[in-house]
Amino acid sequence: MNLVLKTVLQRLGLGLITLFAVSIIIFSSLQMLPGGYAQNILGQGATPETVKNFNHELGLDRPATVRYVEWIGNAVRGDFGNSYSGTTGTIKRSVSAIIGPRLFNTFFLASMAAIIAVPLSLALGLLAALYRNSWYDRIINSVTLTTIAMPEFFIAYILVFVFAVKLRWFSPLSTVGEHTPFLEHIYRAALPALTMTLVIVAHMMRMTRASVLNLLSSPYIEMAQLKGASKAYVILRHALPNAWAPIATVVAFNLAYLVVGVVVVEVVYVYPGIGQMMVDAVSSRDMPVVQACALIFAATYITLNLLADIISITTNPRLLHPK
Amino acid sequence: MTTAPTPLRVIKARRTYYENVVRTLKTAPISAWFGMIVILIYAIFAIFAPWLAPHDQSEIIGKAYQPAGEACWLGCDQIGRDMYSRLIYGARNTIGIALITTLISFMVGGSLGVLAALQRGWLDQGISRVVDAFLAIPVLIFALMMLAVVGKSIVNLVIILALLDSTRVFRLARAVALNSVVMDYVESAKLRGEKMSWIVFKEVVPNILPPLITEFGLRFCFVFLTIAALSFLGVGVQPPTADWGSMVADSKTLINFPVTTFPYIPAPFYPAGAIALLTVAVNFVVDWFLQRTSGLRDGE
Amino acid sequence: MANDTKRVKGDILLEIKGLKIDGKSDDQWKPIIKGIDLTLRRGEVLGLIGESGAGKSTLGLAAMAFARPGCRITAGTIVFDGMDLTAADEAQKRGLRGSRIAYVAQSAAASFNPAHRILEQTIETAITHNIMPREKAETDARDLYKRLQLPNPDTIGTRFPHQVSGGQLQRAMTAMSMSCRPDLIIFDEPTTALDVTTQVEVLAAMRNIVEQFNTAAIYITHDLAVVAQMAHRIMVLRYGNLVEEAPTREMLKQPTQDYTKSLWAVRKLEKPESPNSDIVLSINHVDASYGGKVKVLDDVSVQVPRGRTVAVVGESGSGKSTLARAITGLLPISAGDISFNGKKLSRALIDRDRDTLRRIQMIYQSADTALNPRQRVRDIIGRPLEFYLGLKGADRDRKVVSLLESIELDETYIDRFPSELSGGQKQRVSIARALAAEPELIICDEVTSALDQIVQEEILKLLMKLQKDTNVTYLFITHDIATVRAISDEIVVMHKGKVVQQGLKSKVLNPPYPAYTELLLSSVPEMDPDWLTNLLKKRAKA
């Protein structure tokens, strides 16, 4: 079989196994409580009768393996069951129905941040690497080191203070609904997107700089210079074809980071995404929602890393042209 | 071989440990000095909080959201507690919790990592696969989920974060230990017939300590920021314990109102700034460490 | 080196005057080249020889007006064909590089871009400098491949660098440097990474093509015997200074400087062999493999006489280092047996008792990795004393000092860390650590390969002295025939996991040879400028 195809399939398989393992971890987190989930929720005063009813109502009295198979089977089809907070009444709220629009909002926000951040940080990182030890490089180094160290909500509140409170360009709250027009959505999501951009640009730029420097120290780059190639030619012809793998790794790593950063940023701006929803569900201990969110976050994280690996594999000349 | 008794003279170490530390510090750049001084000040506030703070962290001394003035010179929080005192206690609580968490995480992850690197085989394979699965879930997300299951409390927070973070420490400890384990000096010790404990503590650990100490700084920052984020989200440290992350969340509405008294900074920026300053300081010191760890030399 | 007279005919091509280059280390500029003059005529091959830190690579790159990052040219002029390169701008220098001055690097595997085909990289300069159209360049490259005796010259260019062997890649790089027919080629240790039998082919190909096109060259190496085959004239460098300069034959016949003589110090050592029938280590029909697949040792039998030195010689992949691992038990053998003092050794290290472990010690190639950087000399040498002999405190320290004396280091070294020792001193400490156990057998795995010639000689002398004093046995693993000649009593020749030959030195090093021994021995460059020419003639006849 083609070596590249084989390696990609192997990597895909590994990704699936990881996803499977993660789903087990997420599912079994519920079983970890010594007294059981119901006892914990209902408190010490709950009678065995109430606990039993509660467990039965949620299906917790059936064997874990059966429930896992059911849960994951439904999850694959996009059905994450019903939210606990709605089950006491007659109306049941399905988790998927709650998540759906919020998932869109979150991806909207993350994409906005990514579209600005990725090209910006790649360019800044490349410049810092090319003009290593210049004043530009030194300043960028201190600034990014400082930005990396800051909590997301600090950056967010500084932006709110400057752009919403003082300058009044934006609203401090990014409320969007299902019927918000596209451009309006962009405008309202601008501050949270800018926050996330600032958070990941620093990281991504530093990683880009490091991997470009690593690449440029290869003997074949020196060889190209000794063959009289111009700087631009060396970069485009000799560095770039070998740069896809490290660049993909840097981008994937930071997009994964962005997916996590979205939680805090959504809470600051009261932006209706799944990050904010997950935090609410954690507070009310609405487990089906929490598990669904965790699975979505983890799956995104795994997919991004998988993509980076596949790009690395498909651009590796040793695999493309085996002996 | 000559066995004639040689008179033994006292041969002094060329430089004492203390002299080395002084020499090293003299070469530190300004940013590293800034970092070290900031860390020192934080440490003093954290250790001597009860003596330095004018009020207790849960003592109500004024009206809700009382502006800064003579009685409380950074103002009061949403139920009238002294911001300044809570900021000082916050140093103790927030840094303390993060430090304990990181220490546990290093003890667990570090020892397992070294063990896996030395033993290899099924033990290494087993732990590594489990860790790989955990690494595929972002820490903040997993912590949120676990806190939903076991409920919010400081002990739960510490245990969950320490365990999650130890998977990251495991990976690094294993990698650096593997680098050391393949060295000829370890093989030489094996050939001599040394016990595992000697190989671990005398041959491997001294060599992996510098990268691990650097990593400790970075992991501490990460844990510290994660705890701050969780507290900010309302699922971390719970009231009435003073904590910077939750203080930001509690006072966040104040950002929308102009501050008319000195120093004219909205309240949430004090705890948020306190968090940022510490992590920046630690990062500056770590950055300096990273630049000079390649040298294992005695002084020069 | 066929035509010595050619060099006087040519015009001056390159003239370097008063060149000084600084390098940055620990944030300080320190001189690497301390004022060197160099003249090169058209068609002349100049050898630059020196040991590590001599500045020869830096000087070679300076001939292209190129300074590596962290280096800067501080003084002097570099005039190439009438043009002062130190005053030239980047565009002018770029115009020369690759087209008129070309470079051949030490590691071809690292210096070829993994992402492009070999042919593409061979003709790259010719095309980017607009020297010839693509088609012509491609045809020419195939012709060069043929001249360099590469296999399948018409198709090898379509392959990627990782698809061909090291020796072939090195020749392809020579073709690459030749593609614009430069006036000058800088060869920077081009054969150092190759096995000795491959080296011969590459040397022959390079010399041949340089002669065919009458190209001037600067040949940089640390191996005097190699440079003697290539260069008309030799410059000896040390610590950034010129030590001596002379035409090759003169330099070999009568070097004027002691330092130059020391460059072939090891070749002048020769221990008289002495047979002994008392066998201390007996290896019988041993097989071993990593992971159970390919046999790395295949039916190996070796007898090691007490108090003597048995040299195990072979190229990379011969299994000589694996043999050491099998004896020590690090790699348990899969068949056969190993007896020590007449008693069978347990296959695995873990089953051997402490006294057996004490009697067999090992010294490694790289003292940098063999000595724990976090331990002082006191503990490095003291540990076996404590572990095997139970010495403690002042007794232990006294013994450490006496061991230091026996390796010719004084007691002030006892508190040093390995990083505070020179390469030779580190290797001495490794030897002392082995001696501390009072062993009967010491396995020396390439212990001199990473050292400069003069240090090698000192270490070998020390080992011989210690053998005389303690009657210790050495199993000496090496790829270097000069070292073998210097210290061995018996020789074992290994090839692809098998023993080709074992016997007394006088027998193995003299005809009649088995085929592989002959190939190996004849491939070792000798201090004779005509050696390569004669060898090629002889091989062509056979």
Mean pLDDT for each consecutive 10-residue tract of chain B (300 residues)? 46 62 78 89 85 73 68 69 80 89 92 87 87 84 84 86 91 89 91 90 88 87 89 82 81 70 72 87 85 44
CATH superfamily placement of domain A96-320? MetI-like (1.10.3720.10)
Q: Can you give the pLDDT at residue B2?
A: 43
Confidence check: pLDDT of C71 > 60: yes
Question: Is B2–C406 a contact, with Cβ atoms under 8 angstroms apart?
Answer: yes
Closest chain A residue to the Cα of C114, Cα to Cα: A317
Are C450 and C363 contained in the same domain?
Answer: yes
Q: Which residues pair with C235 in a beta bridge?
A: C48, C245
Q: Contact C66/A317, CB-based, under 8 Å?
A: no
Q: Determine contact, residues C64/C186, Cβ cutoff 8 Å.
A: yes
Distance, in angstroms, between A116 CA and closest chain B CA? 23
State the average pLDDT for chain A. Answer: 82
Domain stop point among C215, C242, C265: C265
Contact B298 C401 (CB under 8 A): no
Chain C contacts of A227, Cβ < 8 Å?
97-98, 102-103, 124-125, 128, 176
Chain B residue numbers with beta carbons less than 8 Å from the beta carbon of C438 are: 1
- Contact partners, residue C536, CB within 8 Å, separation at least 6: C204
CA distance B24 to chain C (A): 13
Q: Determine, for residues A165 and B279 on separate chains, whether the beta-carbon distance falls below 8 Å.
A: no
Task: Please write the tens of the pLDDT for every residue from A198-235.
Answer: 888 888 888 888 888 888 888 999 999 999 888 888 88
- Residue C69: inside a domain, yes or no? yes
Distance CA C229, CA C479 (A): 21
Whether the CB-CB separation of A196 and C37 falls below 8 Å is answered with no
Closest CA to B100 of B160, B162, B38: B162
Look at residue A153 in the predicted model and tell me its pLDDT: 85
Asked whether residue C528 carries a pLDDT value surpassing 80, the answer given is yes
CB-based contact C111 A242, cutoff 8 Å: no
- Distance, CA of C507 to CA of A168 (rounded, Å): 96
Nearest to C111 among A220, A317, A321 (CB): A220
B185 close contact with C: CB closer than 8 A? yes
Give contacts of C61 with chain A, Cβ < 8 Å: 226
Question: Mean pLDDT across the stretch C243-270?
Answer: 86
Do both C191 and C56 map to the same domain? yes
Asked if the model's pLDDT at residue C304 lies above 90, the reply is: yes
Which residues of chain A are at the C interface, by a Cβ-Cβ cutoff of 8 Å?
218-220, 222-230, 233, 238, 241-242, 317-318, 321, 323
- Residues A85/A162, Cβ–Cβ less than 8 Å: no
* Nearest C-alpha neighbor of C73 from the set C14, C18, C15, C13: C18
Are C330 and B191 in contact (CB < 8 Å)? yes
Q: What percent of chain A has pLDDT over 70?
A: 91
A26 CB-side CA count, 13 A: 32
C-alpha closest to that of B247 among B231, B227, B265, B266: B231
Average pLDDT over residues C17-46: 88
Q: How many angstroms away from the CA of C196 is the closest CA of chain B?
A: 26
Q: Which residue of A has its CA nearest to B142?
A: A294
CA distance linking residue B66 with residue C287, whole number of Å: 85
- Provide the CA C506 distance to its chain's centre, in angstroms: 25
- Is residue B300 situated within a structural domain? no
Residue B183 sits in which domain range? 32-294
Task: Name the minimum distance, in Å, from the CA of C26 to any CA of chain B.
Answer: 10
How remote is the C-alpha of A58 from its chain's centroid?
30
Q: Does C105 share its domain with C199?
A: yes
The pLDDT of residue B7 is 47
pLDDT at B263: 67
Nearest to B188 among C362, C438, C470 (CB): C362
The pTM is what? 0.82
- Integer Rg of chain C from CA: 26
pLDDT in tens, C47-57: 999 887 788 99
Q: Are C65 and C95 in contact (CB under 8 A)?
A: no
Pull the structure tokens for residue C289: 């493999």
Whether residues C258 and C336 fall in one domain: no
Q: Is C103 on the interface with A (CB under 8 A)?
A: yes
The rounded radius of gyration (Å) of the Cα atoms in chain B is 24
| Whether residue C490 sits in one domain with residue C426 | yes
Could you tell me where the DSSP H helices lie in C258-366?
Answer: 258-262, 265-268, 320-328, 354-359
Q: Is the pLDDT of residue C464 over 90?
A: yes
Asked if B255 and A40 come within 8 Å (Cβ–Cβ), the reply is no
Probe site for chain A from C113, C177, C185 (most A CB atoms < 10 A): C113
Measure the CA–CA gap between A287 and A217, rounded to whole angstroms.
51
Residue of chain C whose alpha carbon sits nearest to that of A244: C115
Residues of B in contact with A25 (CB under 8 A): 133-134, 137
Window 31-70 of A, Cβ < 8 Å to B: 32-33, 37, 40
Nearest Cα residue in chain A from B221: A149
Asked if residue A271 has pLDDT above 60, the reply is yes
- Whether residues B192 and C417 touch (CB distance < 8 A) is answered with no
State yes or no: pLDDT of A36 exceeds 90. Answer: no
Whether residue C248 sits in one domain with residue C198 = yes
Q: Are residues C437 and C364 in the same domain?
A: yes
- For A322, the closest chain C residue by CA position comes to C163
Query: DSSP labels for chain B?
Result: ---SPPPPPP---SS-HHHHHHHHHHT--HHHHHHHHHHHHHHHHHHTHHHH-SS-TT-B-S-TTPPSSSSSTT-B-TTSBBHHHHHHHHIIIIIHHHHHHHHHHHHHHHHHHHHHHHH-HHHHHHHHHHHHHHHTS-HHHHHHHHHHHH-S-HHHHHHHHHHHHHHHHHHHHHHHHHHHHTSHHHHHHHHHT--HHHIIIIIIHHHHHHHHHHHHHHHHHHHHHHHHHHHHTTSSSPTTS--HHHHHHHTGGGGGS---STT---TTHHHHHHHHHHHHHHHHHHHHHHHHTT---S--
C285 and C355 co-located in one domain = yes
pLDDT score, position C403? 94
Q: Does any domain span residue C116?
A: no
Percent of chain C beyond pLDDT 90?
58
C221-234 burial string, b = 16+ CB within 10 Å, else e? Answer: bbbbbbbbbbbbbb
Number of domains chain B contains: 1
**DSSP category for residue C310:** E
**Residue A162 CB neighbour total at 10 angstroms:** 13
Which phi and psi angles does B152 have, rounded to 5°? -85, 125
Q: Is B197 on the interface with C (CB under 8 A)?
A: no
Check residue C436 and report its DSSP letter.
H
Enumerate the residues of chain B whose CB falls inside 8 A of the CB of residue C394.
Answer: 8
Name which of C257, C250, C255 is nearest C231 in CA terms.
C250
Domain count, chain C: 2
Could you tell me if C223 and C311 lie in one domain?
no
Tokens of C442: 């010491």
* Cβ-contact A271, A265 below 8 angstroms: yes
Asked if C116 has any chain A CB less than 8 Å from its own CB, the reply is yes
* CA separation for the pair C266, C357 (Å, rounded): 32
A chain contacts of residue C102, beta-carbon cutoff 8 Å: 226-227
Chain B: residue nearest C466 by CA? Answer: B1
Q: Using CB atoms, which residue from C362, C371, C414 is nearest to B11?
A: C414
Yes or no, beta carbons of A219 and C97 under 8 Å apart: no
Q: From the list A40, A152, A161, which residue is nearest B266 (CB)?
A: A161
Asked if C24 and C34 count as a contact pair (C-beta separation under 8 A), the reply is: no
**What mean pLDDT is predicted for residues C269-280?**
88
pLDDT on residue A88: 52
| ipTM confidence | 0.83
Cβ–Cβ < 8 Å for C365, C450: yes
Predicted pLDDT of residue B296 = 34
Q: Which residue of B has its CA nearest to C407?
A: B1
- The answer to whether A219 contacts C66, with C-beta atoms less than 8 Å apart, is no
Across C82-88, average pLDDT: 89
Domain of B273, CATH number, reads 1.10.3720.10
DSSP C515-527: HHHHHHHHTS--S
**Order of strands, sheet of C473-478, starting from the edge strand that comes earlier in the sequence:** C360-363, C441-445, C473-478, C309-313, C490-495, C498-504
Say whether A301 and B136 touch across the interface (CB within 8 A): yes
Mean pLDDT of chain C: 90
Per DSSP bridges, beta strands C490-495 and C309-313 are: parallel
How close is the nearest chain A Cα to the Cα of B285, in Å? Answer: 11
C92 in contact with chain A, both atoms CB, cutoff 8 A:
no
Interface touch C438/B191, C-beta < 8 Å: no
Question: Count of alpha carbons within 13 Å of B91, Cβ hemisphere only?
Answer: 25
Q: Specify if B256 maps to a domain.
A: yes
The partner residue sitting opposite B225, judged by closest CB among A22, A33, A151, is A151
Tell me which chains share at least 3 CB pairs under 8 Å with chain A: B, C
Report if residue B10 sits inside a domain: no
Section C354-367 average pLDDT: 93
| Residue C363 with chain B: CB contacts under 8 Å | none
Domain coordinates in residue numbering, chain A: 3-94, 96-320
Q: What angle do CA A285, A287, A290 make, to 5 degrees?
A: 95
**CATH (domain of C365):** 3.40.50.300
With CA atoms as reference, report the closest residue to C35 among C236, C239, C240, C233: C240
Amino acid identity for residue C7 in this structure = R
Question: Does the pLDDT at position A255 exceed 60?
Answer: yes
